[in-house]
Structure 1
Amino acid sequence: MNITKAWDILKENGYKETSKRSQILELFAEDDRYLTARDLLDVMQKDYPSMSFDTVYRNLATFVSLGILEETELSGERHFRMQCESDHHHHHFICMDCGNVKEIPVCPMDMIGAALPAYQIANHKFEIYGTCPECQ
């Protein structure tokens, strides 16, 4: 997702453009990795010394609920990244060291769905975690 589309979504849902929200979106747009609230706070406190985790988490929760960011958990901590703009269904490999992401163009639901013929599946999420070649 790009910043323009993110702002369109925010404005459609009644959110005003603020410098803090702008900076958060810019940080995600510049980096394809998953980032933590701490990553954002470390950068943003240079411009906003009194900025708190609450402000960061509140904005992250809003962005996730509106589909601007996607969220995962790595090593017990929530990580976020800009929502994919891909036009096809896919999943991700996530490096646990650097947070880089690689798209996986296949879906295991093709096999799993057949194993659950009497069940109605509403949604799914599939991620693979490990170490990328650069971090090995």
Structure 2
Amino acid sequence: MNSTKALNVLKDHGYKHTKQRKKLLDLFDQYDAYVSVKDLFEVFRLDFPGASYDTVYRNLYTLAEIGILETTTLDGEKHFRFHCDTHGHHHHFICTSCGKTSPINLCPVEDVVSTLPGHQIENHKFEVYGKCPSCV
């Protein structure tokens, strides 16, 4: 995902193209990692000093709800990044120091399905946390 594609997704879901949403999307173009709301807000308010934390928070959740952003929780705080749509179905290793991700090209859900006969799995999420080579 990138900001141009994200703006098209917003339009397809009936959302307006605003300067604030464009700025948030441009910020995600700059990061190749999960970023906290607090960190995004610090940079965002340089261009929009009157904007509230809640405005940024609400916009991020909207972007996540329509599939533009992915979320994870690191140290009890929600972090966001552009939805990863370049590798097909996969999961991520997430660095707990810098937030960068690496794809994991296997899915353990097949093993889980075999241990739950009669169950219907509707969705799943698998993430591995630790330190990337740059942060070790």
Give your verdict on TM over 0.5. yes
Q: Number of residues paired by the alignment?
A: 136
Paired position in structure 2 for 1:80: 80
* Structure 1 position 87, deviation (Å): 4.7
The aligned amino acid for 1:22 is K
Taking the TM superposition and a 5 Å limit, the aligned residue runs for 1:1-136 are: 1-136=1-136
Structure 2 CA distance for partners of 1:17 and 1:65, relative to 1, 3 Å:
same
**SS of residue in 2 equivalent to 1:24:** helix
RMSD: 1.0
Superposition TM-score, scaled by structure 2 size: 0.95
Partners in 2 of 1:102 and 1:87 — Cα distance? 11
Deviation of residue 103 (structure 1)? 0.4
Which AA in structure 2 matches 1:127? E
Alpha-carbon distance in structure 2 between the residues aligned to 1:29 and 1:45: 17
Q: Which runs of 5+ in 2 are unaligned?
A: none
Q: How big is the shift at 1:4?
A: 2.0
Q: In structure 2, do the counterparts of structure 1 residues 48 and 98 end up closer, same or farther at CA, with 3 Å as the change threshold?
A: same
Post-superposition CA distance 1:26-79 (Å, at most 9, x none): 111221100111111110111111211111011001101100000111110000
State the identity %.
51
Deviation at 1:86, TM superposition (A): 2.2
Runs ≥4 residues deviating over 3 A = none
Structure 1's unaligned 5+ residue stretches are: none
